[in-house]
Amino acid sequence: MDSVRLPGLLLLFFFRYSTVVAAAGIGGTRNGDQEWRSATATYAIGTATATGAEQAGACGLGTLSESGYGFNSVGVSSALFERGSACGGCFELRCVDHILWCLNGSPSLVVTATDFCAPNYGLPGDYGGWCNYPREHFEMSESAFLHIAKATADVIPVQYRRVECHRKGGMRFTMTGKSYFYQVLITNVGSDGEVAAVKVKGSRTGWIPMGRNWGQNWQCDADLRGQPLSFEVTSGRGGTTTSYNVAPWNWQFGQTFEGKQFLP
């Protein structure tokens, strides 16, 4: 009797164990979040944002408080920046393995990549050249840094992972360019926060693929004036959402319009 029942009990045990492990996120990802990875972080003294100003830098996201990104922004090293594709991406950070610098309990904070942390190859990677390739490094604002570490800290060891971006409202499309050079800045992006591909469609055109100009600015060589515009946006995770007739026929350069958002 025991020899017959034992395999069934073992199966029941492993089934329940694997269910608990999956629910706890042990050995896998949870809600699309990635596994924790090791990196380093520093901050600029007396800054509200990673760049020291409310205007974002290499990602071209404009005024951070108006584009939906707030002040928990970071500049990332080239290993993370990926030529601008990481712009708008969300990272969860926590200070680890330093009893003097990390806050008790290693609290985490979700930040947005809004700038590029340039390398300094005149200094070694472990002494000043924190953003030298292939180091993975975060240049944080002081306000964000103090959520995970003490103000007396220098360069701190951190763990990070990519997480879902929770945005309020829809994606925002800011019209720029002129005449036959059309450009759009896309901000307040949900999902993973990244924009991997964009198409635009006027009432007199088909879907036109756009190329990344820099950061979250996308361009195409077309005169789209006098037409209502629709956009198809693909996130870094591969999800696609289409916002039809976001901009009316009489849109003007410099205007911003709100479209659909990626579903969670």
Residue bearing the bigger pLDDT, 124 or 47: 124
User: Would you state the pLDDT for residue 71?
Assistant: 72
Q: How confident is the model over 38-45, as a mean pLDDT?
A: 92
How far apart (Å, rounded) are the C-alpha atoms in residues 173 and 162? 24
| pLDDT confidence of residue 124 | 92
Residue 69, pLDDT score: 76
Q: Are 230 and 200 in contact (CB under 8 A)?
A: yes
User: Widest CA span of the chain, in angstroms?
Assistant: 84
What ranges make up the beta strands (E) of the chain? 37-44, 73-76, 90-95, 108-116, 137-141, 156-162, 172-178, 181-187, 195-201, 207-214, 217-221, 229-235, 240-247, 256-258
pLDDT recorded at residue 9: 35
Exposed e or buried b per residue across 210-249, where buried means at least 16 C-beta atoms within 10 angstroms of its C-beta: bebbebbbbbbebebbebbbbbbbbbbeeeebebeebbee
Amino acid 10: pLDDT:
33
pLDDT(38) > 80: yes
Residue that wins the pLDDT comparison between 218 and 56? 218
pLDDT, mean of residues 52-67: 71
Nearest-Å Rg of the Cα atoms of the chain is 22
- pTM of the prediction? 0.81
Q: What is the mean pLDDT of residues 131-141?
A: 95
Lowest mean pLDDT among 1-5, 49-53, 208-212: 1-5
In 3D space, the residue among 211, 218, 263, 222 whose CA is nearest the CA of residue 242 turns out to be 263
Q: Give the H or E element holding residue 146.
A: none
Q: Is 222 a residue whose pLDDT tops 70?
A: yes
Q: 235-250 pLDDT, tens per residue? A: 999 999 999 999 999 9
Mean pLDDT of 119-140: 94
At residue 205, the pLDDT reads 97
pLDDT tens, 69-81? 767 889 999 999 9
- Mean pLDDT (the chain) is 85
Using 50, 70 and 90 to split pLDDT, how confident is the model at 251?
Answer: very high
Tell me the pLDDT band of 149, cut-offs 50, 70 and 90: very high
Q: 3-state DSSP helix/strand/coil percent for the chain, to nearest 5?
A: 15, 35, 50
pLDDT single digits (tens) 155-174: 999 999 999 999 999 999 99
